[in-house]
Copies of this chain bind each other. A is one copy, B any other.
Amino acid sequence: MDSCRAPRPREVLVINVGDELLDGLRGNDHLVWLGEHLARRGLPVTRAVAVRDDAAAIAREVGAAWGAYDVIITTGGIGPTSDDRTREAVAAALGLGLVASPGAEDALRARFRILGRTVSEADLGQCRVPVGGETLPNPRGTAPGVWLARDGRALVMLPGPALELRPMFDEEVVPRLRQLGCACRGEAYVQVRTYGIGAAPLEELIRPVVPGGLTLTFGTHTGIVDARISSGGSGATAEDICEVARRVRDAVGEDFICTGHACLASIVIEQLRSLEKSVALAESCTGGLLADAFASVPGASRVFAGSAVCYSNDAKMNLLGVPEALLAQHGAVSAEAAAAMASGAAEKFGSDYALSVTGFAGPDGGTDVDPVGTVYLGYCSPSGVWSRRLSVVGDRVQVRRRAVNTALDWMRRKLNKYRVEDLIHGA
């Protein structure tokens, strides 16, 4: 962490170009990613606009914003096809001509030579920049990015594919923003991530250990509550803020997940890796979402054996060995079924640990005692088997997502608490 000493808050605008964003065909993943990474550099996004693949619309947006924002970032529309209109529109809005960048043309020709493709005029069009701008190398694609700085302000054009946009932002844009005095060298804040406590009680709990001059903000998502501590105008050093974060961590206690941005699944995977133990899953209502949380962490395969997604009672019996009599007596959504699913998964996958989820995600199902939103979790470790009941208010998507996070957080806590017992019993 390097505390950010920006003399004033910056105004940041993100312009995402693409019909698909407005027609409901795709979520705006670029804004989510840029939002997080700009905030981490001390440049939280002030405003974001999504516009169609339409030169006039793009030009209108840039024309109105240029001069009013410190940083403008566009995504998409700089490829070689006829619906790629960002480059021309931006140049027109700023009243600048487009000139070829010889370096970018050479790089494009070299890339096409390796690919065995011939270079067309449309391909070369991607190497033009507004006068005074420069191209940003794109070793992962054909369209270079564009950087244009004037009077301490910057306009950046990034390519549409995430695989090209993200490394270009990290490798080419952040160093230039830093040089311009806009972005921090390190992280702009220290984030303390928690689970199991609401934002309001968390604030009440930690406010006393955060000195007055520092800035404290909160973010919540699917049960996770993040507290972000930054120097504000206090002049506090990175070391000061890290010390405050340590005190916040102590105050939070068991609800503390991590300092930083790690997801719950990666925390659990890290715990298991340090123990050299494995985990398997048994899922009903989450239907693969819990498995996906583990599988999405690169390198998960070293500790993640797999998941038995068992919708039917037959599957619970055949794949996990849950006794038919247990299902008949207690039902498939019960503490007993959750525990049997977890121990069955540990046995069938031959894993040290297992986690299970069974519940009524809705819209149908549920009973008087266990209405829609009721979820039972099961946990099997070398030292025992536990189950736990959970009530979630929300729709099907929310119930499933919350069940996944609560299951992961529960395993995190159990691993913290019973690590030693597990090692003794599992030896």
- A38 CB to closest chain B CB (Å) equals 8
- The yes or no answer to A304 lying at the interface (CB within 8 A) is yes
- The yes or no answer to A328 lying at the interface (CB within 8 A) is no
CA A292 to CA B57, docked complex, whole Å: 38
- The yes or no answer to A93 lying at the interface (CB within 8 A) is no
- The yes or no answer to A295 lying at the interface (CB within 8 A) is yes
- The yes or no answer to A219 lying at the interface (CB within 8 A) is yes
Known contacts A32-B27, A52-B46: A219-B20 contact under CB 8 Å: yes
**Is the Cβ of A287 less than 8 Å from the Cβ of B298?**
no
Q: Which residues of B contact A310 (CB under 8 A)?
A: 305-306
Q: Which residues of B contact A301 (CB under 8 A)?
A: 311-312
Known contacts A29-B27, A306-B311: A221-B20 contact under CB 8 Å: yes
- A231 CB to closest chain B CB (Å) equals 18
Flag A290-334 by CB within 8 Å of B: 1 or 0 each. 111011101111001111111110110011000000000000000
- A383 CB to closest chain B CB (Å) equals 23
CA A24 to CA B39, docked complex, whole Å: 8
Q: Which residues of B contact A315 (CB under 8 A)?
A: 280, 305-306, 349-350
Closest B residue, CB atoms, query A162 = B395
**Is the Cβ of B298 less than 8 Å from the Cβ of A396?**
yes
Flag A265-296 by CB within 8 Å of B: 1 or 0 each. 00000000000000011010111111110111
CA A300 to CA B312, docked complex, whole Å: 11
Flag A34-78 by CB within 8 Å of B: 1 or 0 each. 111101000011111111100001000000000000000000000
- The yes or no answer to A364 lying at the interface (CB within 8 A) is yes
- The yes or no answer to A119 lying at the interface (CB within 8 A) is no
